[in-house]
Structure formats: C-alpha cells, structure tokens
Chains A and B, each alone.
Chain A
Amino acid sequence: MSLANPAALMLAALAIPIIVFYILKIRLRRVPVSTVIFWRQIFEEKQPRSIWQHLRHLLSLLVQLLFLALLVLALGEPYFNWEILEARRLVLVIDNSASMNATDVLPTRLDKAREIARDIISRLRFRDELAIVAGGTEPHVVCGLSGHERTLLKALEGVTATDGPTRVAEGVTLARNLLGDHRNGQVHVVSDGCFEGHDKLAEAGDVRMYPVGTRTGNVGITRFQVRRSLLDPTGYQILMEVMNAGDEAIECRLELDLDGDVVDVIPLKIEPGAQWSQTVDKTSTAGGRLTAHINHADALAADNRAWALLPKRDPLKVTLVTAPNLFLEKVLEANPLVQLQVLREMPAQVPAGGVLILHRQAPATLPAGKVFVIDPAGECDLWELGEPLENPIVTKQDRDSLLMTHVRLDNVLMPQARKLTFKSNAHVLAGTVTNDPVYASLERPQGKVLVLTVNLDQGDLPLRTAFPILMTNALGWFSGAAGELRESLATGAVTEVTLPSTATTQGAAGALELWPPDGGQPRPLPSGVAQAVVGPFDRCGVWSIAPPATGGAKPPAAGAPAVEIACNLANRAESDLRPAEITTAQQTAAVAGFMSRPIWYYLVALAWLLAGLEWYLYQRRWIS
C-alpha cells in the first residue's frame, strides 16, 4: 500500500494533546441540588467497580486515538498498486434507435438499457473510467471518460429515445477510438440486437453485449412515398409497403387520409415474415398532409404511422397570343392546371404570375414576365432574326435540363425554323448541326424567356408526343419549384432544403429553426443562406422550418412553416423486433466490482462508525 499524501501523517501529532488531556485530572462540574435523597437511591443500588471505572476511561482513550489514526490515514490517501495497474477504461454504447422504443419490456427497451447501464456504472471501481456513447441515429459521445458516478448517471439520462436507425457498429468504432490502446479497455454494448452484424460484434474480444428485449412480433410501414403522376398533372402515386415481422399471419387495415379526410382504406392480410406492397393513384390539387396508419396494436408505435406531403397545385394563368392554331390551343387546354386565355393581339400587360405565349408575334421589346415565344415573326431586344432554316436537324440536346425531360427532337421532322442570333447569353436546349438554336432559354431580370424557332404549321412536331411533354415541361419550368413534391425521408437521413428568400434578405431577423414533429426543442439553422443541410432527423412525423417561437408558443402554428419535411421510420431492420439469438457465452454477466470507492472513503466511514460507537457508549453513558 502506498500513500498519495504522506505529509498528512504529521497530523498524528494531535495524539499528544489527547493523551495530555487524558492524563490531566479534570475537575468535575459542581451542580447544586436541593436534595440527594433520590440520587442516593439510584447510585447506592449498584456501586460502580473501580477497576472497570479505570478501564472504561482507558478504553475511551484508545477509541479516540484509533479515531484519530483512521482520519490521519484517510488524509494520507492510501492506495494499492493494483488499483492503478488494473484500472479499467470502459465505453458504454447504448442503442437508442427506434427499435429500443418497443414496449415488450416495460416501460421500454431503452429504459431497461438505462437500468443495465446504471448497474454497470454502480460497479465501477475507484480508478475505473467510463464513457457513454449513444448508438442510434447519429453515434455521438454523450459523456467523455469519467469516474464520477453522479456525472455518468446524469449523462445517462441524456440518452434520449429516437426514431432513428441503429448505428451500434459505428458507435463501437467510436468507442474503440476512445479506448485507444488501453490495456484494460472494454466496450459494453447495451442493445436489443436488431441490426445487421450483431453476431460479429458479439464475438469481438473487446466487446461485451448486454441484450435487452424479447422476441416480439411487429407490423410496420416500411415504405411510404408519393410522386407526381406521369399521366395526370394533378394526380399523384402512392407507394406503400407494410411488413409483418412476426411469427403469425396478421389481418389489419391500412388507412390513408389527406388532412383528416379519408382517402382510402385497404384491408391487409400478411403472412409471417412477408411484405405487402402496392402503388395507388390519387388526384388532388389542394394538396395537404397525407397520412397512412395501420390499425394493429404492437410493441412499436413509430412504424404504425407514416407521412407524406402533397404541395398545393395552383392553376397557372396562360395567355396565348396567336393566329388560330388548333394544336397549340388544344395542348394547353388539355393541361388541367392551365387557365388559358387566347388572344389575337398583344395584351397591354402580362397577367401577374402568368405565362405569355407569343406565337408568330414580333414585339420590338418583349414584355416583362414569363414569356414563351414560338416561331418568332421578327427580331426583338433579345435576339436578331436571321434567314429561315430549311429542314433543320436537331443534333444537340441538353438532356440534363428539366425542360428536355422525356423530350426527343432528333427524329422529328421540322421543315422550317428561324435562325436566331441572341444579343445576350442564352442557354441552347436544342440545336442544329450548324449550331443554330432551335429551342433556347434566357434568364433576364424581368423574367424567364423561352424561344422555340420551329414553324408548327409545317412538320410533325405538334403530332408527336414530345410536343405536349415539351409544353408541360416549359410550363413547369416557368412555375419554378412551387408545387413540386418533396420526398418523404427516412429517419436518420439528412437533406438539403432551399430556404425562403426572407432567410437571405433579412439576415439575422429572418433566422429560421428546424422544429421537430412533437414541438420539442428546435434546432437553429444558419442565417443568410439560401440553402441549408438539415438533419439527421431522429423523430418520425412532419418537421417544420419556421421562424423562432415568440410569446412562449412552442410548435409553429399550422400554415406558418416555411418548409415542411415528412420523416418516416421506413426501416425494415428497425421494424423487426426479433433480435438475433446470441449464445450464452456471448452474453456477459454483470461486471463484478468491489472497492468502488477510494480507501480513504472506507477509513472515514470506519472513523465515523467508531465516533458513533463512542458517542453511544460514553456520551449517552451506556457504559457507567
């Protein structure tokens, strides 16, 4: 045994005054009493024996000296050498993924994991160190290496439940980095084992597994995505997948509702371990929050519900100025999102937010706003008109442009087009072998411009399927991102979002926050940027990007959010609550621990015990 503070032994000199006071005879306090006849009855019953009287005082001295010795030794901070040599460095990886919210172990698997973690912490020895790593959604160090029990227990409470995927393997990698090359380093993993690679992890020499949870069946929505219909501009398609991660067949219903209105109810009958998948078409221009939920009570609630967002599709005002052209008019009329107005002469001004299509018109200056010029009749402020192009063949197409999606012009017969020379930069979407633009887009401060130089009255372009697609793409390009679907994300994902213009123009005043679905603590977003990367999302539901709350309001009010993001569990591994079986050898018994406190602690405790004994025996005069 060694002493960390040997100078404290000098305090042993305090024994001298104790012995001096013992040797000196102390004059007793004289107390006058009116009579001693009652005291006489007490003390004459049993005369104290003088030898014992002597001994009891000697014993009292010895107790006092022992008390002093214990305190002095405690101040010397004694320790054993093996304490330092055998000190352990542990990292506790706690799985806080979605599957740990299962209630097959009450109250939840995560609570049971915390209980196991508390037990591990309570068994730490004095010089042991332990760190806590959360192994769900986004592995991170909850608490660095520490031997302070209260700090660790407090940090343990900070491991909160998430709906994210299991990242125990990454958590273990992080834990190994924390351990370094420590000779007594160990990784303790508390998890339900519902992740791939669980077996390999359990076999690793430096990893000890603490399984939680039981083999429990579960039914969950594992896919829920919505996309625009390829056929109907107002329609959308829903892809749903439900998995039965149980050992028995189940029957339940999948209900779809849009902003509370039931859209569809689908009865399901799924065999054990099977998935049911289906795509359905629906139509809505109003948009809203599309919710799917299955009415099956099981241990995990997070995957019983899924969300998708359908943006509202506002009608687009289109003004067509043309000599009568049946194809052009019909292709626009066929689009249900278009409010078409056909004019023969140029209007005084373009409707706000609308699109002006000029067919065979030749204004000297293009009006401000979104303008689509088809077969221009003359030059204007953006281009100069050249000679007609005879039988131009499209050889160059910008396949990456949204305007050219599903459009092929290389085999279209176009007997005549007009040669254009742009006065400013233009983006050629389709061009001829002679580098003459056939279809081009221009960005100008007053608004977007498209120009198609093809003569629609000649050739077969209006008869081709490419034409309505080209027109629909053009209208979509003019509309911008408004009305575009944002896919539902899986928990744990990150995504890039385009922030509203106020975020960049108003600086700090336009600061936004990312609000979780349950209205919990929002996450601040960088201000003054047009786009931001948000995530990872650790809760299922609809996240909102909105200004900071004012007046104590917690979640952003409905309609107020600038951006909404749907987030679903959509993870087969998390929905499968049947952990892989691990052998008994892989399971670790609770870590035995003794000497969880320093030696001085036990010495002080012993000293106080001795003081209590002395007080009871002498101060209370039990010995008399």
Chain B
Amino acid sequence: MPLFDSQFLKQLEYLSLVSRRVFRGSLLAQKRTMQLGGGIEFADHREYTPGDDFRYLDWNLYARHESLMLKRFQEEEDLHVYFLLDCSKSMAFGKPAKFDLARQVTAALAYIALADLDRIAVVAFASDIVADFPLTRGKGRILSLLRFLEELPAQGTETDLARVINGFVHRNQRRGLAIVVSDLFDPAGFERGLDMLRHRRYEPHVVQLHDKAEADPKLLGDIELFDVETASARKVTITERNLRKYKKIFGEYQTAVQKYCRNYGMGCTQTPSDVPFADLILKMMRAAGAVA
C-alpha cells in the first residue's frame, strides 16, 4: 500500500482549507520577519537623519514634542519552513512505523505551507544529513515532495542531532520555521541540537513520535536486546521491577522534551505512531486555535 495515495491528497486539501491561518497564527511561526522595511504594520520610531524619506516622518509626534522622528514599518517576507525529518533506523521501528507517520506529517504540513504561498525545504537526517529537498514554493511542487518522501529510506546509524543541525544552520539560507520531526532518540541528547537552532534565530517546533511498544514494552525474562540503529545486542534479564523502571525513565524523557520546549517557547507535539496523521494535524491546529 503506497504511503501517499489519492486519499492522502484529498486529506491534504481538506487540511489546507481548514488551516488557512496556521502559519499566520501562533502554531508554527510568525510570518513577520525581524527585518524592518516597507510593510504596512508599524514597528517603532527612530530619529530622523538627513536623507531619510520625508513621507515616513511622524508629523503628529513633531507637533507634540518638536522632535523629528521617523516611523519604521515591519518588512513582510515569505515564510521559510524547514522540515528536519529523522530517517534513522529507529524511526522504522513500531507498528505502524514511526517513519511513516513522520513522512505523512511532514507532507501534510508542507502542503499547508505551500498552499499559503510559503517556501518549504526538507532535510532528511540520521547520523548526518542524508538527503535534501531544496527550498521550493507553490502547491505544484507537492507531488515532487511526495515522491521525495516516498523514496526516502530509513538509514544511517545512531542519530546525531547536534551534528545534523550544525550542518543545517551553517548553510547560507534565510531564517525561518524549523520543524524537527523525530523520535529524538539521540544518545548525546536532543538539547544541543535544538539549542543551536534557537541560537541561530530559527524558530524550532518539535514533533516527537514514539511507538506504544517503546512506551510500554511487553518484555520479560532472559532476552537479547537488539538495537536496530547500532545493530548491537545486549543480553539482559528483564524483571517486573526493570520494566517499571524503564517506564519511569521513558516517561521522564518525554517530560524532559516537553519541559525543554515549554521553557524556550517552542512548539512541541508528542504523539504515538498509531495516530492517524490527519488527527494529529487537527490536534496541532486545535492546540494553536486555528480550528475549533
């Protein structure tokens, strides 16, 4: 069964219709850039210097305070939305695989952005950046994007988010919204990578996926744990007590991600992989107040 079929496209169209305000609102980012320019939305004043355009002098202010102040307006630009899609082997885990939902969510959000005349780019990564879908604009590009996503395999070894984002932020590109779709199973921790995005004035949003078998594993007894990313095995004896401890650690990790995002004002969506992507998108919209 193909990942993106006609039914998927219909759902994308429906989602784009109900989410006109998503990227303009508070869910993903502000469309306004930090650059000042010839927009119509007032930003602030600065002192007049010779050579400035008289049309932007605030005469009302001059009448009150007898000082020449120039009105500055916010420059309106296209929003650049970057999708950082984790395609490490851990993402292929689960029933259904987390990678399937990750690609569907990426495609859906990209379609909504394209429909809103924003620019999108997809960066697939594992231990490093493994594939790129270049910055593009217009709904017509959606099929190319879908093809790109469909042909993308789960690959690489251990996830290294810091290395990936380091490579990403050093590219010569405009700042914008950076949506990280991943399980964030990075042995070195997820914070460093996301910190880099913040520090480079990107606006990160985290979509963290997990499988129910990861949250509540049904393992007991003497078994050999096989790490699908590193292809390493470890013989362990799992007891009830171990299981309770695992669930506690996993829960704490999820909470840590949520707390990190909340502390830095980042959007954060955590979901199990068996949720339909449309429901997940609608849930994100409801959280943003984009739909009722």
**Structural contact, A32 and B250, CB atoms closer than 8 A:** no
A38 at the interface (CB under 8 A from B): yes
Residues of B within 8 A of A31 (CB): 219, 223-226
Report, as a range, how many residues of chain A touch the other chain: 20 to 34
Which residues of chain B in 245-261 are interfacial with respect to chain A, using CB atoms and an 8 Å cutoff? 245-246, 249-250, 253
Question: Roughly how many angstroms separate A231 CA and B184 CA in the complex, as a whole number?
Answer: 119
Once the chains bind, are A33 and B93 in contact (CB under 8 Å)? yes
Segment of B45-53, B104-112, B165-173, B231-239 engaged in the interface with chain A:
B231-239
Set of chain A residues within 8 Å of B239, measured between Cβ atoms: 620-622, 624
Pairwise interchain contact A28-B185, C-beta atoms closer than 8 A: no
Q: List chain A residues, Cβ under 8 A from B203.
A: none
User: Which of A30, A42, A621, A622 meets B224, CB within 8 Å?
Assistant: A30
Evaluate contact between B242 and A42: CB separation under 8 angstroms. yes
Question: A82 at the A/B interface (Cβ < 8 Å)?
Answer: no
The minimal Cβ–Cβ distance linking A619 to chain B, given in whole angstroms, is: 8
Q: A41-B249, A42-B242, A624-B242 are in contact. Are A34 and B94 (CB under 8 A)?
A: yes
**With an 8 A cutoff between CB atoms, is A36 at the interface?**
yes
B220:A621 contact, CB within 8 angstroms: yes
> What distance in Å separates the Cβ of B4 from its nearest Cβ neighbour in chain A?
24
Contact (Cβ within 8 A) B93 A34: yes
Cβ-defined contact, B242 with A35, below 8 A: no
Check A36/B238 contact, CB under 8 A, given A28-B222, A31-B219, A621-B221: no
B236 touches A621 (CB 8 A): no
Q: Is the CB of A621 within 8 A of B237?
A: yes
Tell whether, in the assembled complex, residue A29 and residue B223 are in contact, meaning their CB atoms are under 8 Å apart. Answer: yes
Q: Which residues of A contact B220 (CB under 8 A)?
A: 621
A30 to B221, CA, bound (A): 12
Which chain A positions have C-beta within 8 A of B249? 38, 41-42
Q: Does A594 contact B (CB under 8 A)?
A: no
List A contacts of B232 (CB < 8 A). Answer: 36
| Interface members, chain A 18-48 (any B CB < 8 Å) | 26, 28-39, 41-43, 48
Among A32, A37, A39, A620, contact of B236 (Cβ-Cβ < 8 Å) = A39
On chain B, the residues within 8 Å of A624 by CB distance are 237, 239, 241-242
Report the minimum CB–CB distance from B99 to chain A (whole Å).
11
B100 within 8 A of A: no
> Would you list which residues of chain A between 165 and 218 have a CB under 8 Å from chain B?
none
Q: What residues of chain A lie closer than 8 Å to B230, measured between beta carbons?
A: 36
With a cutoff of 8 Å between Cβ atoms, the chain B residues found around residue A622 in the complex are: 239, 241
- B242, chain A: closest CB distance, angstroms: 6
Contact A33 B227 (CB under 8 A): yes
CB proximity to A under 8 Å, residues B233-287: 233-242, 245-246, 249-250, 253
Is the pair B187, A33 in contact by a Cβ cutoff of 8 Å? no
What would be 7 A-B contacts, judged by CB atoms less than 8 Å apart?
Answer: A31-B223, A31-B225, A35-B214, A35-B227, A38-B253, A39-B234, A621-B220
Given A30-B224, A34-B229, A39-B246; 14 other pairs, CB 8 A cutoff = A31-B226, A33-B227, A34-B90, A34-B98, A35-B214, A36-B225, A36-B234, A38-B250, A41-B249, A42-B246, A43-B242, A48-B237, A621-B220, A622-B239
